[in-house]
Amino acid sequence: MSSPFRIAVFASGQGSNFQTLVEAIQNGSVDAEIVLLVSDKAKAPVVERAHKAGVDSYVFDPKAYAKREEYELEIAAELERRQIDLVVLAGYMRLLTPVLVDRYAGRMINIHPSLLPSFPGKDAIGQAWNYGVKITGITVHLVDGGMDTGAVIAQKAVEIRDGDNLESLEEKIHAAEKELYPVVVSWFAKGLVHVEGRKVSVLQN
C-alpha cells in the first residue's frame, strides 16, 4: 500500500482555504493528507482550525529572526523531516526566499484572487473592483519567488454584474476558490501536473 500524498499548508489568517482542503480530504475528493500547518501568526484562526482538524502546527515569530532566510531554513528542515510532497500557500502573507522556493520548485502552489497577470499583490479583489473590469476571477499558480509571477496552473473566471458590490464580489471569489483549489491539489496528488517552463499541462485521468 502506497503512503499518502503529504501536504503542508502555509497560512496567516482565517484559514478558509485550509478548511476547504481539510473537508475535501475528509469527503474523499482529494486523496492526500495535510501533515502540517505553517503559520507566522500564533493567534491566527487557522491555527485553531488546524488543532480541531488534528493537524500539527509549526508557528514562528518572524520578528525573532534577523532575516527571512533564517526562519525559512528552520521551516525547510521541518518540511523535509515530514517528507512533504506539496506546499500549499493559502493566505500566507509573506514573500518567500530561494531557501524554500528552490527546494520546492514545481511543488509549491498559491491561490490568488484575480486572473493573473492582472491585479497581482495585495487587495486584488479591490483592485479589480476599483478598475471597473467586468470579469475577474482566481488563479492557482506555481510559486517562483516573485509577487504572484509563477506559472499558471488553473484559472476560474468570475463575472462582475451590475447588481454586485465589493462584498458580493468577495463572496463570489471565495466560492470560486473553494471550488478550484481542492481540484488542483488533487491533480498534484494524482501526479497529473506536467510543467515545462511557463507551460503547465494537466494529464488526463
* Mean pLDDT of the residues in the chain: 95
What is the three-state SS of 163-186?
Answer: CCCHHHHHHHHHHHHHHHHHHHHH
Question: What is the β-pairing status of strands 152-159 and 135-142?
Answer: antiparallel
Of the candidates 51, 112, 141, 174, the residue annotated as catalytic is: 112
For 168-191, what is each residue's pLDDT tens digit? 999 999 999 999 999 999 999 999
| Nearest residue to 133 via CA among 119, 147, 123, 117 | 119
Q: Is 112 a catalytic residue?
A: yes
CA dist list (Å): 110 to 91, 141, 167: 8, 6, 23
Domains of the chain: 6-202 (3.40.50.170)
Looking up cell 493559502 gives 90
Cell of 78: 521541518
Per-residue model confidence (pLDDT) at position 145: 82
Q: What is the pLDDT of residues 102-148, one digit of tens each?
A: 999 999 999 999 999 999 999 999 999 999 999 999 999 999 988 89
Percent of the chain with pLDDT over 70: 99
